[in-house]
Amino acid sequence: MFRKLLSLCLGIAITISAQAQNSDKEAVIDSVHKTFTYQSGTISLHSDKAKLTVPKGFKFLDAEQSRRVLVDLWGNPSDVTTEGMLFPEKSGPLTDKSFAFNITYDDMGYVKDEDADEIDYSDLLKDMQAGMDEENAERVKQGYESIHLIGWASEPFYDKDHKVLHWAKELQFGDSASANTLNYDVRILGRSGVMSMNAIASMGELPMVKQHIPVIVNSIMFESGSRYSDFTSGDKLAAMTIGGLVAGKVLAKVGFFALILKFWKVLIAAVVGGFSLIRKFLTGRSTASDVEEEPQV
């Protein structure tokens, strides 16, 4: 998918002048941003099991509209999941040099945290890098770019009192010398699952993301009966512990494709009438020239 979109974007860019591109980009970005309705205040999540208090300086996009962003606008597979997204107050899906958090819930069960104080994250990083190198051989064989885990963009930290885990990876795609990708995860543990907030950003936006992590971490709380402390004997147990959450395969992360495709959305949006995904997004109709969806890898 990444290569296909890259080739398509470059092909389109060659056919239009810089002046027309800039004019068209601004028009499309403005049109797209006007299609969204954001919320503030307190939002119920996952069948009222948790609540989000939208932090000051942010705005919330509900699940239905967030799917439009992730699938129709950013080109993610149609099975992507979301409870909604948080955007900075003055930003939108097509704002350059910005970021967003995709919110999801995984009903994996109760995650035991006894191993949290024993994890050597330097050793864990080496194991994860070795695992990705092994996976890359198969990825390249299938025609996809390799993915390299450069290191921790922010070392894992587990707040045992509040049952919140967050960490960030720096990723490189192929042999590209361009800006690396940031994968920042915030996980809030509950009685029967984990609420995740995945930052969609580039490495250059890491300072902005880190600056807001404290308010993001405190923005979601499980309701009474669904909290980590509400666990009782007989409840479903997760197959992984704290170390397992961090070491999970990168490709399994919700928002992964959004992380890749975010870098091409502004170039794609610049071409009015020349790219069917944008036309479909604005009109709600498919066209004969729609880009064919590829399977998730």
pLDDT band at 267 (very low <50, low <70, confident <90, very high): very low
User: CB-based contacts of 211: which residues, under 8 Å, 6+ apart?
Assistant: none
Residue 6 has pLDDT above 80, yes or no: no
> How far is the C-alpha of 35 from the C-alpha of 32, rounded, in Å?
5
pLDDT value, residue 101: 94
Residue with tokens 């006007």: 34
pLDDT value, residue 2: 52
pLDDT band at 163 (very low <50, low <70, confident <90, very high): very high
pLDDT value, residue 186: 95
- Tokens read off for 180: 């690396």
Q: Which residue has the higher pLDDT, 176 or 106?
A: 106
Let me know if 116 is exposed, middle or buried by CB neighbors in 10 A (0-12, 13-18, 19+). Answer: middle
Cβ atoms of 25 and 275 within 8 Å: the answer is no
Please choose, from the candidates 147, 261, 153, 129, the residue with its C-alpha nearest in 3D space to the C-alpha of residue 200. Answer: 261
pLDDT band at 162 (very low <50, low <70, confident <90, very high): very high
Residue 237 has pLDDT above 70, yes or no: yes
The least confident of 38-47, 172-181, 280-289 is 280-289
Residue 173 has pLDDT above 60, yes or no: yes
Please choose, from the candidates 12, 46, 37, the residue with its C-alpha nearest in 3D space to the C-alpha of residue 190. Answer: 46
- SS3 of the chain: CHHHHHHHHHHHHHHCCHHHHHHHHHHHHHHHHCCCCCECCEEEECCCCEEEECCCCEEEEEHHHHHHHHHHHCCCCCCCCCCEEEEECCCCCCCCCCCEEEEEEECCCECCCCCHHHCCHHHHHHHHHHHHHHHHHHHHHCCCCCEEEEEEEEEEEEECCCCEEEEEEEEEECCCCCCCEEEEEEEEEECCCEEEEEEEEEHHHHHHHHHHHHHHHCCEEECCCCEHHHCCCCCCECCCCHHHHHHCCHHHCCCHHHHHHHHHHHHHHCCCCCCHHHHHHHHCCCCCCCCCCCCCC
pLDDT value, residue 54: 97
Cβ atoms of 272 and 20 within 8 Å: the answer is no
pLDDT value, residue 295: 34
Pairing of strands 42-45, 220-222: unpaired
pLDDT value, residue 183: 85
pLDDT value, residue 142: 74
Q: Which residue has the higher pLDDT, 240 or 20?
A: 240
pLDDT value, residue 14: 47
pLDDT value, residue 22: 57
Averaged over 257-262, what is the pLDDT?
Answer: 48
The values of phi and psi at residue 181, to 5°, are -100, 140
pTM across the whole model: 0.76
pLDDT band at 178 (very low <50, low <70, confident <90, very high): low
Averaged over 3-9, what is the pLDDT?
Answer: 52
pLDDT digits (tens, 9 = 90+) for 59-107: 999 999 999 988 888 777 777 889 999 999 989 888 878 899 999 999 9
Averaged over 140-151, what is the pLDDT?
Answer: 81
Averaged over 219-224, what is the pLDDT?
Answer: 95
